[in-house]
Structure 1
Amino acid sequence: MYRLLSLEELDTACVAQWRQGVVERCRHAAGLLRSRAIDAGDLLHEARAELHLAMCAQREAQYVLALTHARRACALARHERDMALEIEALSIQGAAAAVSGQDQLSEEAGQLARRLARQLADPIVTLQVCDSLGVAQAWLGHVEAARQSLAQGTCLASDAGRVDWACHLLIHAAFAEALMLARSWDLSQGLPSLARRRQVEVAMQAALARCEVTPGVMAAGTQRSGRFLLAWVDFMLAVWRGEPDDAEADLQRLQALLPHERAWMGGLARWAQVVHALVLRDNAKAESQARLLIAAAHDMGHQPLLEQGRRAWLLAQSRLGRLNPMELGALRLMPSPAAEATSSCTEDMLAFELRLRELGQREAAQLPAWRREDSLTGLASREHFQAQTDELLQRTDPTRAQVSVLVLALDPGQVLAAHHSPLVRDRVLCTLAALIRQVLRAGDLPARWSHDELVALLHRASGEDVARVCERVHLAVREHDWSAIAPGLDVRVCLGHASARVGDTLDGLMRRCESSRFASLRREYRKVAHAA
């Protein structure tokens, strides 16, 4: 039924099927969209297809697969400079990584999505990121960070007049509070403290108050999921208050509200059954339910739920007095779901990365010469430098890759233009370009940035490496015989440098380089004044 549709129509079909909750059809349309986009060389529609596939995999709790599709969507969106699409893909990447045992990747993706959303200056995109990031941080156990993210999103939703999103975020805030307490709670030590339980109750009351004054603001599917999460929080509160009868009633309500299209919520319901059995000291039932939770969590690739299943199984076994060392060893050695699933995706992901890299190389080779090389100095052009730096910042973790930028400018205290002809100035810049080529390392990229500024992209350069490069530049400039260009000519330069951080852009790096350069100038001027 999709074969005669254009790429735009296929994309629209994916969105429509997703909104109707028909995940299988959405995935089928997205697969066809991706195949046809690859054939047509349309990277933007390929990115959109990968995003649809990531959303489908996430809905069906196939987290490692969702992470793979989201990573591809991110890479393609960056290549096509579609920031909104990249932010959405990063949000899925952060959420999927949080539950598949890749904590650092989750935090990096979430924080990058937040920074990009600020640049995009779209409040709705920002609150969506806050929602996704807050829930991911809750699964990771980052209590204060999760609270801040969800609170920021709630404020933005209220400011934007989006009562539906405000309600949604308050439900997630209540769920996050209960989730973080449940994950840290040691059931063998008794009930949690009153103060900690009170934090969950306050968040729950805020969510209920908002839902009461804004009934029906969400779509039916979202309402069902929201009611399920609130029922789960109600159940945990009843357990923590020591009210088994209320907990029993909440557990039954939880089962009735379970959205069967969201497998991870089925895991929450199973976790609730395990907790209830342990509280009632029905240890045989707790053990069997814990086994089911472990199997379900492993199939989903949901590491936090897998950990809770293991903890519950161990407690039930110890209470029954039949802890089997061999079975315990097998349970502990069970590989994480992320490790198993990731190995099956590695080859496919590598093929994708190689294809994208080859495409970038072809595009760079096809650039006109004036865009790749500065006609005066022979260094890379500003456009080429920007493209290469942007690509490196987007494709790598800059803190691990140790990406730095160095700026070299003529000392503004000199009046070169006033005393020498433009030809002399051009020869000075050409000589500086030759000197900087000599002192840079293999793999570094020098370029012409402006009229009298040169830059260099330093890849895999620690702080010590950058300092050594700066020293070599200063030494080369001091030792060069500038009088060969013009009698009495003495050239001085000032340097600035900055190392990239997660989420950095070239603009941010250049601003820090300027600050570094002017700070260096001030120090030099103070030395001169002091010596005088």
Structure 2
Amino acid sequence: MSTDDEEHLALALRQEDPAVARDMALSVMALAIEKGNLHLEGRARALLAECFILLADYRSAHEHSIRAIQLLQSVRDMSGESKALSILSSAASALGSNDQAIEAALLGLELARIGGSADRQSELQVQLGLALLHARCFDASTDALRQARALEPASSTALNALCSLVVEGTCEVVRVITIRHETGEMPSLDGLHQAMRRYDDFAARHDMVALAQPDQRPIQVNWNLVASAAHCWSGELSRAERELETVRRWMDEEGIAPWMESLEALVRCELAMARADWPAAQRAASRMIGLAESTGREQSALLGHVLACHVFERQGKWEAAARELKQLAARERRIRASTLASRGAVVAWQLEMRRSEDSRRELQASAAQLERLTLEDPLTGIANRRCFEQSAQQSLRESQSAGRPLCVALIDVDCFKQVNDRHGHLVGDKVLQVVAALLVEHVRADDLAARWAGDEFVILFRRTELSQARDICSRLRVAVAGHDWSGIESTLTLTISVGVAESQPGDTLKRLVDRSDQAMYEHKAATKPGSR
């Protein structure tokens, strides 16, 4: 793509005219295809995908960003590929494909580090934080956003640091709503208030007027909505209303993307609930779901169902709340099915790349990168050891810094070798998959269940005291022992041994895991037949 083409496209995007930029990118892409110029086609598709993001056409953005990545990788344009990966992460997040969004952001971040681009690293750290937010990995999201801000001195712009603060505030809003939904109680607002103080500190150190350019204004309007939610939950309803009206005036004057309308509907729902205006709260939740459905932004639709459920629960309308929960579960199933279907495009690309020796080497290099960065155990579908160790290291540091409790449980399937010997490895694999599913079912949203190795699993309990972690593990042991295993093998019965350890001052992850491992073997010995 020529310098003039890129400058014109960038100008159209800066002027908030993505439709014009889209048409320009389509023309360039058609020319590239006609001439067989893979590099030009890849750059054009990446820009086209970015335009579709701004136009809230996330499925088109997803499709074009995947193809752009394939093309740019084939011509070894690492910078272009990392940008396309950032766009893919954004589109996948909106569509609810959380795993793909996280993988894309991680791979793009690695390429940006190799290329030495601080601006791109900062951009991708923000995108990773957003992807982790949508996956409800709140602590990991906050950590990624802090790393984005740490890159500010090396970056040529403060915009990414501002974005990280706004996404962190949004993360805290979603965290509050999620925990309230799961526990039925309003959680602490400390994290949200800390995010607001960090924003105020940033504003004191930067020229916010200079940052309020047309293409950057939605970022600050997003912050107004975060602040409005905070004021609402703190009981400052008039102040929350003023923030909302400021946002509404700007949206009416300038026009805004549907995702911003969805966020405004969320805050209006919270304000209406605070005033016990249940019809207004129901309308706002329904509006949020409708706006999300019109653009395919599944994350907003899921959150809308959570809000609607809470509105009905507050009124004691339990049947209506149950209907919302069923719709939420059905939508989550559709997202999973859609995510699996989208993997077909990746398979097609892999087959295409195998057609020549050079392309095969490209595929192997990409596969090696993805293997290093993957976070999922392929057999069970839960987190793998690498994902656990990354999350646990960070959580341990945070718990020690904040003086919060943290526990680790190591789990072993009793006599698993006998299962394989008597029934075969296919049965053994199914057993591990069911155990993994039971783990996920019994841990809380903020905990992390992972496959450690072989027939061993591990659970990270964040902000959890030893007695509470032991209670959860006790329920898990009962669930495994009481599970109907006859669906796998008629004579099969199964138990697990669990060891739990709580972190101590100065602990390393290895010492903590070793103590839980020792506790697990002590439990196994104590429950062995004839041990008493």
- The structural deviation recorded for 1:33 is 1.7
Moved more, 266-275 or 283-292: 283-292
Bigger Rg over Cα: 1
Distance 1:401 1:148, change over 3 A: closer
Equivalent residue in structure 2 for 1:389, among 364, 368, 371: 364
- The structural deviation recorded for 1:297 is 1.2
Unaligned 5+ segments in structure 1 are: 1-5, 365-371, 373-382, 403-462, 465-532
Instruction: Verify the 8 A CA contact 2:305 2:325 in the aligned structure 1.
Output: no
Distance 1:396 1:42, change over 3 A: farther
Say if 2:24 is the partner of 1:25.
Answer: no
Unaligned 5+ segments in structure 2 are: 379-452, 455-532
User: How many residues get paired?
Assistant: 376
Instruction: Report what 2:237 is aligned to.
Output: 244
SS at match of 1:242: coil
Say if 2:165 is the partner of 1:170.
Answer: yes
Instruction: Verify the 8 A CA contact 2:126 2:164 in the aligned structure 1.
Output: yes
Equivalent residue in structure 2 for 1:257, among 250, 256, 259: 250
For residue 11 of structure 2, what is the amino acid of its counterpart?
A
Give the distance between the partners of 2:18 and 2:333, measured in 1 at CA. 23
For residue 331 of structure 1, what is the amino acid of its counterpart?
Q
Distance 1:286 1:335, change over 3 A: same
Instruction: Verify the 8 A CA contact 1:301 1:337 in the aligned structure 2.
Output: no
- The structural deviation recorded for 1:199 is 2.6
Instruction: Report what 1:331 is aligned to.
Output: 327
Instruction: Verify the 8 A CA contact 1:130 1:152 in the aligned structure 2.
Output: yes
Say if 2:86 is the partner of 1:111.
Answer: no
Moved more, 327-336 or 153-162: 327-336
Instruction: Verify the 8 A CA contact 2:49 2:61 in the aligned structure 1.
Output: yes
Say if 2:217 is the partner of 1:221.
Answer: no
- The structural deviation recorded for 1:147 is 2.2
- The structural deviation recorded for 1:267 is 0.7
Moved more, 383-392 or 196-205: 383-392
Equivalent residue in structure 2 for 1:49, among 44, 52, 58: 44
Distance 1:322 1:174, change over 3 A: closer
Spell out, residue by residue over 1:204-249, the C-alpha distance to the aligned partner (whole angstroms, 9 max, x if none): 3333323xx4233325224421321221121111112112222222
Say if 2:268 is the partner of 1:268.
Answer: no
Instruction: Report what 1:139 is aligned to.
Output: 134
- The structural deviation recorded for 1:24 is 0.8
Distance 1:263 1:393, change over 3 A: same
Equivalent residue in structure 2 for 1:297, among 292, 299, 302: 292
Give the distance between the partners of 2:133 and 2:202, measured in 1 at CA. 17
- The structural deviation recorded for 1:387 is 4.7
Give the distance between the partners of 1:192 and 1:395, measured in 2 at CA. 37
Distance 1:355 1:118, change over 3 A: closer
Moved more, 21-30 or 169-178: 169-178
TM-score (norm 1): 0.62
For residue 128 of structure 1, what is the amino acid of its counterpart?
E
Moved more, 301-310 or 390-399: 390-399
RMSD: 3.6
Distance 1:391 1:203, change over 3 A: closer
Instruction: Report what 2:428 is aligned to.
Output: none
TM-score (norm 2): 0.62
Spell out, residue by residue over 1:124-181, the C-alpha distance to the aligned partner (whole angstroms, 9 max, x if none): 2211211222222223222232222222222222234634444444344334333433
Instruction: Verify the 8 A CA contact 2:123 2:148 in the aligned structure 1.
Output: yes
For residue 253 of structure 1, what is the amino acid of its counterpart?
T
Instruction: Report what 2:90 is aligned to.
Output: 95
Say if 2:285 is the partner of 1:310.
Answer: no
Say if 2:35 is the partner of 1:60.
Answer: no
For residue 95 of structure 1, what is the amino acid of its counterpart?
S
Equivalent residue in structure 1 for 2:31, among 26, 29, 36: 36
Say if 2:227 is the partner of 1:231.
Answer: no
Instruction: Report what 1:484 is aligned to.
Output: none
Identity of aligned pairs, percent? 22
Instruction: Verify the 8 A CA contact 1:14 1:30 in the aligned structure 2.
Output: yes
Instruction: Report what 2:517 is aligned to.
Output: none
Instruction: Verify the 8 A CA contact 1:298 1:336 in the aligned structure 2.
Output: no
For residue 47 of structure 1, what is the amino acid of its counterpart?
G
Spell out, residue by residue over 1:435-481, the C-alpha distance to the aligned partner (whole angstroms, 9 max, x if none): xxxxxxxxxxxxxxxxxxxxxxxxxxxx99xxxxxxxxxxxxxxxxx
Instruction: Verify the 8 A CA contact 2:101 2:131 in the aligned structure 1.
Output: yes
SS at match of 2:122: helix
Give the distance between the partners of 2:336 and 2:189, measured in 1 at CA. 40
Distance 1:226 1:40, change over 3 A: same
Give the distance between the partners of 1:207 and 1:57, measured in 2 at CA. 31
Alignment of 1:472-487 (within 5 A): none
Instruction: Verify the 8 A CA contact 1:50 1:72 in the aligned structure 2.
Output: yes
For residue 390 of structure 1, what is the amino acid of its counterpart?
A
Give the distance between the partners of 1:21 and 1:345, measured in 2 at CA. 33
